[in-house]
Amino acid sequence: MGIAERAWAERALFLDNYQLTMAQLYFRHGIHESTAQFEHFTRSCPNYGNHQAGYCIAAGLEWLLDWMDEASITDADIEALRSQRTATGEQLFDDDFLSWLRANGSFDSLSLRAVPEGRVVHPNAPLTIVQGPLAIAQLLETSLLNHLNFQTLIATKASRMVEAARGRPVLEFGLRRSPEHAASAATRAALIGGADFSSNTGISKVLGVPPKGTHAHSMVQVFMALGEGELGAFRSYAKQYPDDCLLLVDTIDTLRSGVPNAITVFDELRSAGHKPVGVRLDSGDLAYLAIQSALLLDAAGHGETSITLSSGLDELSIFQILAQIDQEAPRYGLSAGQLINRLSFGVGSKLTASDGHPYLDGVYKLVALENQGEWRPAIKLSESPAKSQTPGDKDLIRVYDDRGRATADLLTVAGEELPDDFITLQHPIEHGVRRRLPNERVSAVESLLRDVYGHGKRVGEQSSLTQIRERRDRDIEKLDPGVRRLVNPHTYHVSLSPDLWDLKQRLITEARGTG
Amino acid sequence: MGIAERAWAERALFLDNYQLTMAQLYFRHGIHESTAQFEHFTRSCPNYGNHQAGYCIAAGLEWLLDWMDEASITDADIEALRSQRTATGEQLFDDDFLSWLRANGSFDSLSLRAVPEGRVVHPNAPLTIVQGPLAIAQLLETSLLNHLNFQTLIATKASRMVEAARGRPVLEFGLRRSPEHAASAATRAALIGGADFSSNTGISKVLGVPPKGTHAHSMVQVFMALGEGELGAFRSYAKQYPDDCLLLVDTIDTLRSGVPNAITVFDELRSAGHKPVGVRLDSGDLAYLAIQSALLLDAAGHGETSITLSSGLDELSIFQILAQIDQEAPRYGLSAGQLINRLSFGVGSKLTASDGHPYLDGVYKLVALENQGEWRPAIKLSESPAKSQTPGDKDLIRVYDDRGRATADLLTVAGEELPDDFITLQHPIEHGVRRRLPNERVSAVESLLRDVYGHGKRVGEQSSLTQIRERRDRDIEKLDPGVRRLVNPHTYHVSLSPDLWDLKQRLITEARGTG
């Protein structure tokens, strides 16, 4: 196939074919340039089976905008579309539509508002709002979801691992088992979610974060095959990288061979005036081996060295390892806190493939359409009430309680003023389930959506990766611990204003009547 | 960031940084050009939690070779590496190494053998064997695994869905929730695994398979917002696509609105001489709604129309829906077989993200190294015996029993002759667990590995997607039904020859002694 053909396929035609057939239908009806508003939101946080996310971390917007910049319809795209056939063998896309598409097939005509990357976000609240010509906004659907669903998914998983790791470094090592070229996006999202470094050389350079790594078992095997054994391998590595000497100690036997050989080499490094980095444990009972390795290293006077743990780690296994160390370390005369303070975590596939829940159920729904100068809210009913969406142009407001903690996200009708005395938080589905928050119990309200794209250009200042990461840190601090809990988290409230609730009910009634 | 920077990051530096630090170490020791042999294999089939794969479908090789063609080290790569720093702030990669890498950093010096794409494969048997200069073969590790792990994972998942679907069409609709740009590879792998079509416009064109699709709920919402209702939407769609009219019927209410409106439109199409395609059900109890929709369509004389089911489908839900139809359809006077024969399945995220097990644990291990003209087998022991690999240069042979069914894959020492009277199948880990297969019970033996790459070029004929798909069909036919079972499948035997077993034991003993 060739890389160039694939690159082509991932530009403007990186979409579901029905977006194009629908665009042609709108064109035929003369409504393709009517202004439409679509909303992107998730239906739920990832549920990993025996544990669940209580929040998500928004990510992927910057790369979506990069993609939009490059994804204008080209002649080659038009030729590809011209070759599609109907069931009866005729051209599926008519020439007049293709001419219009060639002339108008870019995203310059759209404007986007979005919750900035790195922010804590919740289901059923808009993360992105797209406004523009109906056909063009429709064409954006697939790729917008593709880009934002994935990075938000991975940033969320990373954030959980980072929380489980109690502030110790988390290194993303996933590339070999990451979902193919989505690995690049996974690395970026992992960093947004709070991971500290990645092993991925190329994308780390692009993102301005130095790549990290140790060595593989194969390095030890090579020196073993040459008759120099594990010790010979470690010595060679230390000689080449005397100040970056992190040794993988489980190729033969962690405690009987790996750690003792590492100690020999660390002694030699120390004598030569270097500071050994530490060891990496990649198999076996990592909590037990961490304690035993620490005992051996301490006894040899290498109490300053680090211990990196890897091998199928996820947030629950990190949590469990640390809990086990809390309990067990004192029995060996070790301070659990000190041991934990020398740990790092290498996480791979379970982060970059979001093990347990490998996709985010973000959707992109029409919420309003302009017709003859008048906005009409749009609705989709559903077999499942939870899937009935909230119509119309909206604002998204975060409400902070008197402790400064985020207590609810509130959807309002766009431009709606909040009352002076109290805020009413209406449950989005259950009639009559509402909570009133008097103003004295509200420390702040904050509008979450920002203008990010318009007239073919980014709007506002672009954030650096560091700024995005800081945003996450700040938002996590303001979450209730119950919402941050790894297992069975408290459900964060996303509520409707009474005005928005009334609009939704009216639309549902009308739709059932006129369907 | 920009698309160009990302594309750069996904070429030669699409690897774990430690591959480069190890390569430099080998360079420093003058062994970087010693011939090494690495083996790629999986450790297990995906286990999706409550169901497990009994086999995998090899996929991804052709795209790996495409990548290798383009992934030579460039000046920009060298500059990026030159900017890396040690802990003490010095240049991590020395200039002499970088010069060598610039001159030799392509994969032209490697040769690859591999099991062809589309074939049924099993854990702990080599899928790819890489031979060439140690440093270069090491540099290939990450990207080889990245490309082959993912497509094999998705082709395997697709194959299970296709088996569950009893030969009815399976359409891949996953793009919006696929792992970002890995979506392209997911579509290809889904087709290799037996899916019939994809909704993905661009990559379908590249792969030479027409894209498929219907319309979204938003199309119905648009016409509702314009006051024309669902019927108006369906009419407009039918007018534009009279011979490709597949209608999504659950925007308002499947049985009370969607199907009746579809019937009205199908009647009109029929009167105008067109053949309506059918309906798509995307929410609710799909088995129940399929039966009820069929009853309504039949009663209206549209018994020939198809019914496409979608909404979170995986292999188990497809299996269950068909089992429910088997039981329930006759109670409504419908033939279950006839109903099933009009079904198609649209599968999305659960296919293209491999829900339940979103990564494949393929590994790439050094098995032999040439030193002073002599091959030395390499081994890695491990805390877990199952992780101890099988050393040395090998052949991989599939043994077919007297029913023509594949009964075991046998690893032998390369060039080893099979005995005339019987084949001995030694369990790879358990000493003394072996099975003898007399020759009269063996209908065929087949060597699975093929030369695929050498001297910077593909070797042998390239297979078309159709040929790869046919390969899968043939191999699936020859599998025992127990191995194909969706839940708790029978374990297919991957065995060692007695000679290979002896070599492995000898190496383990030596390694424990000299570690």
Encoded tokens for B199:
């909704």
* Tokens (6 digits) for A54: 């209580």
Collapsing DSSP to helix, strand or coil, A110 comes out as coil
**What is the side-by-side strand order in the sheet with A197-198?**
A197-198, A170-172, A343-347, A306-310, A278-281, A246-248
Sheet containing B197-198: give its strands across. B197-198, B170-172, B343-347, B306-310, B278-281, B246-248
Six-digit token string for B348: 């999305």
Residue of B nearest to A252 (CA): B381
Cβ atoms within 10 Å of A66's Cβ, excluding its own: 18
Give the residue from chain A lying closest to B91, CA to CA: A241
Question: In percent, how much of chain A has pLDDT > 70?
Answer: 98
User: Does the beta carbon of B178 lie under 8 angstroms from any beta carbon of chain A?
Assistant: yes
Query: Which residue on chain B is closest to A60 by alpha carbon?
Result: B180
Residue B129 CB contacts under 8 Å (≥ 6 apart), including other chains: B37, B38, B39, B40, B112, B113, B114, B393, B394, B449
CA distance B481 to B488: 12
Q: What angle do CA A4, A9, A10 make, to 5 degrees?
A: 100
Whether the pLDDT of residue A383 is over 60: the answer is no
Determine the Cα–Cα distance for residues B162 and B171; give it in Å rounded to an integer: 10
Alpha-carbon distance of A231 to A262, in angstroms, equals 8
Lowest mean pLDDT across A179-193, A281-295, A365-379, B18-32: A365-379
Residue A293 pLDDT > 60, yes or no? Answer: yes
pLDDT for A1: 61
Dist CA B88 CA B83 (whole Å): 14
By Cβ distance, the residue of B3, B12, B250 closest to A70 is B3
Q: What is the pLDDT of residue A357?
A: 97
Does B3 sit within 8 Å of A216, measured CB to CB?
no
Tokens in use for B456?
């910077």
A vs B, Cβ pairs < 8 A, gives: 442
Q: Looking at beta carbons, which residues of chain B come within 8 Å of A368? A: 225
The token duo for B110 is 């490697």
Cα dihedral: A209, A214, A217, A218 (round 10): 70
Which of B19, B92, B181 to probe the A interface (max A CBs under 10 A)? B181
CB-based contact (8 Å) between A505 and chain B? no
The residues near B505 (Cβ < 8 Å, ≥ 6 apart) are none
Which of A351, A338, A388, A360 is closest to A496 using CA atoms?
A388
pLDDT at residue B169, rounded to an integer: 98
Residue B514: the pLDDT is 54
Residues in CB range of B64: below 8 A, 6 or more apart: B143, B144, B147, B148
Spatial separation of the C-alpha atoms in residues B78 and B100, rounded to whole Å: 11
Q: Of the candidates A150, A173, A225, which has its C-beta nearest B371's C-beta?
A: A225
- The DSSP secondary structure of A282-298, one letter per residue, reads -SS-HHHHHHHHHHHHH
Residue B432's pLDDT is what?
83
Residue A203 sits at the chain B interface (C-beta within 8 Å)? yes
Which three-class secondary structure state does DSSP give residue A415? coil
CA distance A125 to A411: 7
Asked if B179 contacts A180 with a C-beta cutoff of 8 angstroms, the reply is yes
A173 CB within 8 Å of a chain B CB:
yes
Give residue B418's region: left, alpha or beta (phi > 0; psi -120 to 50): beta
Q: Whole-angstrom Cα distance, residue A466 to residue A192?
A: 8
pLDDT of residue A515: 44
User: How deeply is B298 buried, as exposed, middle or buried, from its count of CB atoms within 10 A (0-12, 13-18, 19+)?
Assistant: middle
* B305 inside 8 A of chain A by CB: no
The H or E element containing residue B292 is helix B286-299
Three-state secondary structure call for residue B409? strand
Rounded CA gap, B75 and B12, in Å?
Answer: 11
Residues of B in contact with A237 (CB under 8 A): 25
Beta pairing class for B457-458 and B450-454: antiparallel
CB-neighbour burial class of residue A238 (10 A; exposed 0-12, middle 13-18, buried 19+)? buried
Report the C-alpha gap between A342 and B387 in whole angstroms.
Answer: 28
Task: Enter the DSSP assignment of B492.
Answer: P
Confidence band of A392 (pLDDT split at 50, 70, 90): confident
Using the Cβ of A206 and the Cβ atoms of chain B, whether some distance falls under 8 Å is answered with: yes
Structural domains of chain B, ranges and CATH numbers in brackets: 160-352 (3.20.20.70)
β-strand pairing of A306-310 with A343-347: parallel
- Residues counted in chain A: 515
Q: If you write DSSP's letter for every residue of B332-391 in order, what string do you get? A: GT--HHHHHTTEEEEE-HHHHTTTT--S--EEEEEEEEEETTEEEE-----SSGGGPPPP
User: Which secondary-structure segment (H or E) carries B316?
Assistant: helix B315-328
Is A370 an 8 Å CB contact of chain B? no
Q: Which residues of B396-418 are buried (b: 16+ CB within 10 A; e: fewer)?
A: bbbbbbeeeebbbbbbbbeebeb
Structure-block tokens of residue B100: 């060598």
**pLDDT of A190 over the 60 cut:** yes
From CA B215, how far away is CA B205, in angstroms rounded? 19
Q: Which residues numbered 35-74 in A keep a CB inside 8 Å of some CB on B?
A: 36, 38, 49, 62-63, 66-67, 69-70
Contact A281, A250 (CB under 8 A): yes
Q: Which of B17, B175, B383 sits opposite A142 (nearest CB)?
A: B175
pLDDT in tens, A69-125: 999 999 999 999 999 999 999 999 999 999 999 999 999 999 999 999 999 999 999
Q: How would you label A325-341 residue by residue, b for 16+ Cβ within 10 Å and e otherwise?
A: beebbeeeebebeebbe
Q: How far apart are CA B135 and CA B23, in angstroms?
A: 5
Q: Is B96 exposed, middle or buried (0-12, 13-18, 19+ CB in 10 A)?
A: exposed
- Across the beta sheet with B362-371, what order do the strands follow? B374-377, B362-371, B35-42, B128-133, B111-114, B450-454, B457-458
In tens, the pLDDT along A324-340 reads 999 999 999 999 999 99
Please tell me the distance from the alpha carbon of residue B454 to that of residue B348, in angstroms, as a whole number. 37
The H helix count followed by the E strand count for chain A is: 18, 21
Identify the bridge partners of residue B130 per DSSP, sorted by sequence position: B38, B112
- Residue B378 near residue B367, CB atoms below 8 Å: yes
Residue A455: how many other CB atoms lie within 10 Å: 9
Residue A210 has pLDDT above 80, yes or no: yes
Tokens of A264: 């020999």
**Cβ atoms within 10 Å, residue B474:** 12
B420 vs A443, which has greater pLDDT? Answer: A443
The pLDDT averaged over each successive group of 10 residues in chain B (515 residues) is 89 98 97 96 95 98 97 98 97 98 98 98 97 98 98 98 98 98 98 98 98 93 92 98 97 96 98 98 97 98 98 97 98 98 97 97 94 83 65 92 96 91 91 90 96 95 95 98 97 95 86 62
Strands in B493-496's sheet, in edge-to-edge order, are: B434-438, B422-426, B493-496, B406-413, B394-401, B442-447
The residues facing B40 across adjacent strands are B128, B364
Report the distance separating Cα B243 and Cα B274, nearest Å.
6
> Beta strand pairing status for A56-57 and A120-121?
antiparallel
Q: Is A171 on the interface with B (CB under 8 A)?
A: no
What is the tens place of the pLDDT at every residue in A395-424? 999 999 999 999 999 999 999 998 889 999
Q: Tell me the average pLDDT of chain A.
A: 95
- Chain A: give the shortest CA distance to residue B343, in Å: 18
Contact state of B283 with A382 under an 8 Å Cβ cutoff: yes
* pLDDT at residue B384 in the model: 60
B401 vs chain A: nearest CA distance in angstroms?
35
C-alpha separations of B121 from B42, B53, B57, B167, B337 in Å: 9, 11, 6, 22, 32
The beta-carbon neighbor of A150 closest among B88, B180, B220 is: B180
Give the integer Cα–Cα distance in Å for B390 and B387: 9
Q: Which residues from B are below 8 Å from A230, CB to CB?
A: 515
Q: Extract the tokens encoding A437.
A: 């928050």
Alpha helices of A176-225 — where are they, by DSSP H?
Answer: 183-192, 201-207, 217-225
